[in-house]
Amino acid sequence: MIKLSGELLGGSDGFAFNRESIELYAGEIKSLVDKNIIPGIVIGGGNFFRGARTTLSALKRHRADSIGMLATVMNAICFAEHLENIGVKTAVFSAVNIGEMAQTYNIDRARDLLDKGVVCLFSGGTGNPYFSTDSASALRAIENSCDVLIKGTKVDGVYDSDPEKNPQAKKFETITYSEVLERNLGVMDLVAITLCRDNKMPLKVLSLKKPGVLLKACLGEKVGTDVIERD
């Protein structure tokens, strides 16, 4: 299972859709499919909706989360179209019923399609407010018996502090779930990390800035940071 932040689809600005970025990441997914590695994908919605409650005071939390879920649906549909355009079969699922735009999520249906070589994109979060797309990606990875959950970010792994603010920040090659929680490192939210830990779901955090990194990760090469149950 691959978790992509919505901002990655927005290019350097991190907003809306950037054609070059979308085509780049679609090509990365195709490189997996060409090796018979069939991923599920969860995309965040931050390129369309991020932090609006700090500026829109009338917006209730659950309504803001609903808007965020819709943003993930838009991202999934757009990304799926770009994958189809380069020959990758896709199916878009939504955790909330949105009619003809996407299939309503069903575990058995998703598993069947993944087994048949169809890349499945999971949108709409968990279908509930107060849960992030990190939590959704962990949940979908577990439900679909994935081998690993890969979080693709702009940073090449997990650090003991923000590497963009601290040049001396230390990168971890491996780190335990417990240490991530104890240090409050912000790799993923508490629910996502706990889900992975309790269900023994391997987690890898890496940057997608370098071409080919996803394929390297799936082939077992040392890239990014591995979050593990124990040392």
Express each pLDDT in 118-169 by its tens digit.
Answer: 999 999 999 999 999 999 999 999 999 999 999 998 888 999 988 888 989 9
Per the CB < 8 A criterion, the answer to whether 47 and 17 are in contact is yes
Q: Rounded to whole angstroms, how far apart are CA atoms 214 and 32?
A: 8
In this structure, of 165-169, 173-177, 198-202, the range with the lowest mean pLDDT score is 165-169
CATH number at residue 116: 3.40.1160.10
Q: Rounded to whole angstroms, how far apart are CA atoms 58 and 77?
A: 29
Q: Which of 134, 114, 12 is nearest to 72 (CA)?
A: 134
Residue 54 has pLDDT above 70, yes or no: no
pTM of the model: 0.92
Range of the domain at 47: 2-228
Express each pLDDT in 77-134 by its tens digit.
Answer: 999 999 999 999 999 999 999 999 999 999 999 999 999 999 999 999 999 999 999 9
- For tokens 């593990």, the residue is 228
Q: How far is CA 58 from the centre of its chain?
A: 29
What percent of the chain clears pLDDT 90, i.e. is strictly above it? Answer: 73
- Angle between helices 133-143 and 190-198 in degrees, nearest 10: 20
Provide the number of structural domains found in the chain.
1
